[in-house]
């Protein structure tokens, strides 16, 4: 049971930063920020959950069953993540690539303290066992200030796959497409630094400032961190309605308005980018149909262009009505991993990219989000993100692009570098 208290916040942007600074004292933190990006399906401008009362940490074996039991038993707010390698429990797959980060495959926690901000209205939800701390915590938050950050040393950021090797691998993927093994695949490569000493809060604030993405996340589980500027929603459930918003298609932003509009229109009309998006939209329609009421899957938007600070993106919106026989975790299991990060047909693609990629994806191209007590949920896609294991002193970010029969390997490589730009800038 939780106590619920409402407050009026005069300066929401300032309060968000104070919340984030205050949260750093806790072992478990999930901070979700929409950055006031205009979107139809937003429930909150900002959420903060801290301090685990209970938690679930597991590898991929039976992970979705464990999550289902945890969610139905607690019937409370849960925050956490699904890593890409849960694919190995959904299908008969495996992962043997290098993993420098060593995060659990799945982690969720039931927070003692939650803050939900929408415009000027703040709702505070504390478990009864700590409800006497609400007012003292609130006073502490409004007095929080960022400390002066120390420079912790220069990072030597390396690229796991060279340009030559990348072109070679994409050529192999094109061969798979030409002989009919797949139609489209998302191929990813890692950038990393060893002996890395960074201030995660500082890096997240910089990344968030230059990206201002609608699904930004600061995640902390003891010494494991995710700093995400994701523009993409994986899946949201509100009542019986399920919403998926895959991204496929990217073009560069320009400071000159004329150039910028040309870039936007080029993306909107590019046959390759539209083909990518439509293929993934079709895959998502199929995934949602597994748990949907008959005839309820609908494409609400197809290939719509959304503009962010760094890039223009092509996004489609697909909805369905969940069949009452299925649980919230069933919807996640039957759609995971998201089609925008795999390709089509899904199982064949996942096997091929596992062989050609050189790093285990882990939390990258997984999802972070939350469940509400009544079984609603909202999860992002973990892209445009920095991952950091403070204990191993290993920092990593990965980028990818969709490979189709029309792909030119050198152009795909350039798209990856464009997507890596913000993370490079922050870590430098």
Q: Which residues are catalytic?
A: 232, 248
Tokens of 156: 């030597």
Taking each helix axis as running N to C, give the angle between helix 409-427 and helix 200-211, from 0 to 180 degrees, rounded to the nearest 10.
Answer: 130
Q: CB-hemisphere CA count at 13 Å for 42?
A: 23
Report the distance separating Cα 8 and Cα 266, nearest Å: 44
Three-state DSSP at 358 gives: coil
Q: Which of 93, 43, 88, 44 is nearest to 64 (CA)?
A: 88
DSSP conformational letter for 359? B
Q: CB-hemisphere CA count at 13 Å for 221?
A: 22
Q: Which of 23, 65, 370, 2 is nearest to 221 (CA)?
A: 23
Entry field: residues in the chain: 428
In 70-195, the DSSP E strands lie at 78-82, 106-118, 121-127, 158-159, 184-193
Report the distance separating Cα 61 and Cα 83, nearest Å: 12
Q: Which of 100, 121, 85, 101 is nearest to 12 (CA)?
A: 121
Beta-bridged to residue 185, according to DSSP, are 343, 403
- CA 166 distance to own-chain centroid: 24
Q: Which of 239, 335, 220, 226 is nearest to 43 (CA)?
A: 239
- Burial readout 125-160 (b: 16 or more C-beta within 10 A, e: otherwise): bbbeeebeebeebbeebeebeeeeeeeeeebebeeb
**Is 277 in contact with 301 (CB distance < 8 Å)?**
no
Report the distance separating Cα 319 and Cα 310, nearest Å: 27
Tokens of 375: 């079984």
């Amino acid at each position: 049971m939780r106590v619920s208290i409402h407050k009026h916040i005069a300066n929401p942007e300032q309060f968000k930063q104070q919340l984030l600074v205050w949260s750093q004292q806790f072992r478990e933190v999930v901070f979700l920020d929409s950055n006031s990006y205009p979107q139809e399906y937003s429930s909150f401008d900002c959420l903060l959950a801290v301090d685990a009362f209970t938690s679930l940490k597991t590898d991929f074996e039976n992970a979705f069953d464990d999550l289902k039991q945890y969610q139905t038993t607690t019937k409370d707010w849960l925050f956490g993540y699904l890593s890409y390698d849960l694919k190995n429990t959904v299908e008969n797959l495996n992962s043997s690539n290098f993993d420098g980060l060593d995060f659990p495959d799945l982690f969720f926690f039931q927070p003692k303290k939650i803050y939900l901000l929408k415009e000027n209205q703040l709702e505070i939800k504390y478990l009864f066992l700590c409800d006497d701390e609400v007012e003292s915590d609130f006073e502490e938050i409004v007095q929080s200030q960022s400390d002066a950050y120390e420079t912790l040393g220069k990072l030597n950021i390396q690229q796991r796959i060279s340009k030559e090797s990348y072109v070679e691998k994409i050529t192999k993927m094109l061969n798979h497409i030409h002989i009919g093994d797949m139609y489209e695949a998302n191929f990813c490569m890692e950038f990393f630094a060893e002996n890395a000493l960074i201030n995660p809060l500082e890096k997240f604030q910089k990344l968030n400032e230059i990206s201002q993405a609608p699904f930004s996340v600061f995640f902390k589980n003891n010494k494991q961190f995710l700093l995400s500027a994701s523009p993409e929603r994986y899946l949201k459930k509100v009542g019986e309605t399920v919403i998926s918003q895959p991204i496929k298609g990217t073009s560069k932003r320009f400071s000159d308005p004329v150039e910028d509009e040309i870039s936007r229109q080029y993306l909107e009309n590019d046959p390759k980018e539209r083909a990518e998006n439509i293929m993934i939209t079709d895959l998502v329609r199929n995934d949602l149909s597994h748990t949907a009421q008959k005839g309820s899957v609908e494409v609400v938007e197809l290939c719509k262009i959304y503009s962010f600070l760094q890039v223009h993106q092509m996004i489609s919106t697909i909805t369905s009505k969940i069949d009452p026989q299925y649980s919230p975790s069933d919807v996640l299991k039957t759609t995971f991993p998201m089609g925008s990060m795999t390709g089509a047909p899904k199982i064949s693609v996942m096997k091929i990219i596992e062989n050609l990629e050189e790093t285990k994806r882990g939390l990258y191209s997984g999802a972070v989000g939350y469940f509400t007590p009544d079984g609603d949920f909202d999860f992002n896609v973990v892209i445009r993100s920095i991952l950091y294991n403070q204990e191993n002193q290993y920092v990593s970010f990965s980028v990818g692009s969709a490979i189709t029969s029309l792909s030119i390997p050198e152009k795909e490589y350039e798209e990856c570098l464009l997507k890596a730009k913000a993370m490079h800038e922050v870590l430098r």
